[in-house]
Amino acid sequence: MKNLFLLLLCCSFFALASCGDSASTSGGDKAATSASAGESTIGGIKIPSFSDSKLTDYATKYAKYIEKYEKAIKSGDASSLTNLSSEGQELATAAQSLSSGMGQADAAKFSAFMQEVGKRLQNAAQ
């Protein structure tokens, strides 16, 4: 189950990384860069401030998901992990739909965020 989740996470990350260059907008990059000072942290994960509030909301939900996942792994709660598996799939699907209209600066931030989260998931799964 852990391997399936990590595979889904990796697929969504590569899908986002591959479309980031072609989705650039003229004003979106400037707004995303100037908003970087508004970062927050959830469970040790930095949540970047994106020009699109939907991306910021997604990153916040994903960081909260990671917190729950790490707690479930530490406690060995199989039923929580099963529930979190479906939530993880929903989040991966949402990431793919969000990536279509992302500007270049947001795509770079989102890619860095997903890399950080992927490392946390790998460490939790070990």
Give residue for tokens 């998931």.
121
Q: Model pTM?
A: 0.67
Cα end-to-end span (Å), the chain: 13
Residue 12 has pLDDT above 60, yes or no: no
Rounded distance, CA 106 to CA 56, Å? 10
Over range 16-36, report the average pLDDT: 38
Rounded distance, CA 58 to CA 79, Å? 24
What element of type H or E holds 54? Answer: helix 53-75
Rounded distance, CA 96 to CA 16, Å? 7
Residue 99 has pLDDT above 50, yes or no: yes
List the alpha helices (DSSP H) in 1-126: 2-19, 28-34, 53-75, 78-98, 104-125
* Per-residue model confidence (pLDDT) at position 38: 61
